[in-house]
Amino acid sequence: MNMIDTKPEISLSHYAGEIRQGNVVAFPTETVYGLGADAWNADAVAHIFELKGRPPDNPLIVHVNSVEMAATLVSEISEDARRLMERFWPGPLALILPKRPEVLDIVTAGLPTVAIRVPNHPIPLRLIEEAGPIAAPSANTSGRPSPTRAEHVRQDFGAEVPVIEGGSCQYGLESTVLDLSIRPYTILRPGHITQSSLEQVLRQPVRMVPSFEGETTGAPRSPGMKYTHYAPDARVRWMRPDELPRPDFPAAGTLYLLHRIRPGDVPIRGDRNLIHYGEDYTEMGRDLYDRFRMADLKGYSEIAIEPFGDSGEDVEALLNRIRKAIGG
């Protein structure tokens, strides 16, 4: 068993105190674990960038616990923004809005906008209540898959960062990032809150940035999109249609992630490197980053993922992360 940093006697107030004093603390959210610091403390936020090895032109999301606290960071909350906040907060939706001048440049990477969200998890909500707005990227070192369990944070940071234990994250994929500072409103990163659910509330079309627009235009809207993301060391690729019929399937050294192919469709001897999700894409999303990290720990050289075909909007976020991992 690994030592868990949160012994019951270490209370959340203790961690909130750490954040107030300018230290960095990792905590669970409903999406992935975050690496948090006081959003009003430039040195503390700088420490996040340093720990992650994060390029300084990639801004952070500020976590708040209410629309009122959001209003201390953004210069204006439009009718549309308010409607989204009321419908989806607390929840996995980060909104990009024009920032107040006092919001630190290091948080927004010098942009005139700031990303904010209210996490739907009692631990960060409690920390925010005691320590105020918390700037937090995902708690992985830059380029690694986002952490969905406390253990993942320890894999990347060891004892350098205290982690509040919160079990496995509910969604396992990062929040939807919606830019409300441009028209049409644009999803910079798909997540659990889908394009159509946003359009329903906004009663207007919302644009989806293609997975690799940032890389191809050289002028990404969301600075984070130009960096390699979510990639394990193992090479991630789509499974080829000719692989399954071959007698040597499954190849040793390859981990297969399957959803439509059933256990009975494949040779029994491969059961350890064949993961079957059925068509439960929520479960697959929840498990993906953990599986990426496990594949590395177990020394797989490849991860082959069964292609999706037309699986609709529910797989948008999952597909986006897989494409990033393949491209990266």
| Minimum CB distance to ligand TXA, residue 86 (Å) | 19
Q: Is 273 in the site for Mg ion (CB under 5 A)?
A: no
Closest CB to ligand TXA among 109 and 244? 109
Stretch that binds ligand TXA, among 18-26, 91-99, 248-256, 299-307 (CB under 6 A): 91-99
Instruction: Tell me how far apart the alpha carbons of residues 4 and 158 are, in angstroms, rounded to a whole number.
Output: 11
Closest CB to ligand TXA among 217 and 265? 217
Length of the chain: 328
Closest CB to ligand TXA among 119 and 166? 119
Question: Helix, strand, or coil here: 52?
Answer: helix
DSSP-assigned states of every residue in 153-209: HHHHHGGGS-B----S-SS-SPPEEEE-SSSS-EEEE--SS-HHHHHHHHTS--EE-
- Give me the residue label for tokens 């590395």: 296
For residues 62 and 115, is the Cβ–Cβ distance under 8 A? Answer: yes
Tell me the angle at which helices 79-88 and 195-202 cross, rounded to the nearest 10 degrees. 130
Instruction: Tell me how far apart the alpha carbons of residues 75 and 307 are, in angstroms, rounded to a whole number.
Output: 43
Of 263, 182, 256, residue with least CA distance to 219: 182
Residues 285-324 that bind ligand TXA (CB under 6 A): none
For residues 186 and 101, is the Cβ–Cβ distance under 8 A? Answer: no
Q: Which of 38, 174, 306, 316 binds ligand TXA (CB under 6 A)?
A: 174
- What residues contact residue 228 under an 8 Å CB cut-off, 6+ apart? 143, 324, 327, 328
| Minimum CB distance to ligand TXA, residue 75 (Å) | 13
Which listed option, ligand TXA, Mg ion, none, makes contact with residue 107 (CB within 5 to 8 Å by class)?
Answer: none
Closest CB to ligand TXA among 35 and 284? 35
Report how far apart, in Å, the C-alpha atoms of 92 and of each of 173, 175, 178, 183, 315 are: 9, 4, 11, 22, 16
Closest CB to Mg ion among 72 and 141? 141
How many other C-beta atoms lie within 10 A of the C-beta of residue 47? 17
Which listed option, ligand TXA, Mg ion, none, makes contact with residue 84 (CB within 5 to 8 Å by class)?
Answer: none
Sign of the alpha-carbon dihedral angle for 48, 86, 89, 197? negative
Residues 10-39 that bind ligand TXA (CB under 6 A): 29, 31-32, 34
- What residues contact residue 179 under an 8 Å CB cut-off, 6+ apart? 96, 113, 185, 186, 187, 188, 221, 222
| Minimum CB distance to Mg ion, residue 229 (Å) | 7
Which listed option, ligand TXA, Mg ion, none, makes contact with residue 59 (CB within 5 to 8 Å by class)?
Answer: ligand TXA
Residues 46-65 that bind ligand TXA (CB under 6 A): 58-61
Residues 61-90 that bind ligand TXA (CB under 6 A): 61
Which listed option, ligand TXA, Mg ion, none, makes contact with residue 108 (CB within 5 to 8 Å by class)?
Answer: ligand TXA
Closest CB to Mg ion among 133 and 147? 147
Residues 204-223 that bind ligand TXA (CB under 6 A): 222-223
| Minimum CB distance to ligand TXA, residue 53 (Å) | 13
Which listed option, ligand TXA, Mg ion, none, makes contact with residue 186 (CB within 5 to 8 Å by class)?
Answer: none
To which H or E segment does residue 25 belong? strand 25-27
CA dihedral 144, 148, 153, 156 (to 10 degrees): -20
Closest CB to ligand TXA among 179 and 306? 179
Residues 90-149 that bind Mg ion (CB under 5 A): 138
Instruction: List interacting residues with Mg ion (CB under 5 A).
Output: 138
Instruction: List interacting residues with ligand TXA (CB under 6 A).
Output: 29, 31-32, 34, 58-61, 92, 94, 96, 108, 111, 113-115, 119, 136-138, 174-175, 177, 188-189, 222-224
